[in-house]
Amino acid sequence: MKKCDLKGSIDSIETLGLVDGPGIRTVVFLNGCKLRCLYCHNPEMWKIKDYNMTVDELVNKILRYKPYYKDNGGVTFSGGEPLLQSDYLLEVCKRLKKEKINIALDTAGVGNYNEKLLDYIDLIIFDIKAVKSDDYNYITGYKIDESLKFLNKCQEKNIKMWIRQVIVPKINDNEKNILELKKFISKLKNVEKVELLPYHTMAIDKYKKLGLEYKLTGVEAMNKEKCKELEKLLLK
């Protein structure tokens, strides 16, 4: 097989993951993200650092775990925002598809990306920060347009989707937000699963070590039981 000289900036790789897509998965975390979400728990991945792994190296590492994937497992590309390294991922995915590996993309849909990548994606795990422009800008520091454009492209291509939203006390942990989210999701097709993720405070030490301001100082972790109740309302 022809060698590819492209390199990706990989932060870390989780083997035998159980939450980022169906089945047992290898989860690849790629560096780089345009968003600055208030609750981001991976600030160390904001910037694209050294390009440290070739296409061949990443593909070979993923294929080591192929026996564990069985019928419904596979690989999930996350971050950061994996779309920022779409040319690299495209080459990786081409190779993985030849090996019949299921591929999921965990994304907020923000970044100039090679649309050909979507032809190799089996599942989009879409992170909806907010459904209204002002709320989206407040949470991410960015405009909502790119995210919606990406979502529309996924709809055009009929890609299966999981929808996720992080729930933060006093920001979006209310019935109004959940009903707006429910209405938004109702207009989408191919949605297989919807999850509300409770905000946690485990990233605070990361911010201190990186010399970054933590914008949610004083906000307590989201009550998991309340989050479950909101999820019931969403799925009702």
Tens digits of residue pLDDT in 127-179: 999 999 999 999 999 999 999 999 999 999 999 999 999 999 999 999 999 99
Q: Across all residues in the chain, what is the average pLDDT?
A: 96
For 7-235, give the CATH class: alpha beta
Q: What percent of the chain has pLDDT over 70?
A: 98
pLDDT tens digit string along 22-59? 999 999 999 999 999 999 999 999 999 899 999 999 99
1 pLDDT band (50/70/90 cuts)?
very low
Q: Is the pLDDT of residue 5 over 80?
A: no
Backbone angles phi, psi at 165, to 5 degrees: -145, 135
- Of 5-9, 124-128, 227-231, the one with minimum mean pLDDT is 5-9
Going 200 to 192 to 71 to 156, the CA torsion angle's sign is: negative
**Which pLDDT belongs to residue 80?**
96
Please give the Cα distance from 46 to 153 (Å, whole number). Answer: 25
Give the dihedral of Cα atoms 178, 146, 166, 28; nearest 10 deg. Answer: 140
- Predicted structure pTM score: 0.95
C-alpha closest to that of 103 among 7, 8, 195, 21: 21
Average pLDDT, integer, range 2-23? 89
What ranges do the domains of the chain cover? 7-235
Q: Is the pLDDT of residue 180 over 60?
A: yes
pLDDT tens digit string along 60-111? 999 999 999 998 999 999 999 999 999 999 999 999 999 999 999 999 999 9
Helix or strand (DSSP H, E) at 150: helix 145-156
**Which pLDDT belongs to residue 236?**
86
| Residues ≥6 apart with Cβ < 8 Å to 60 | none
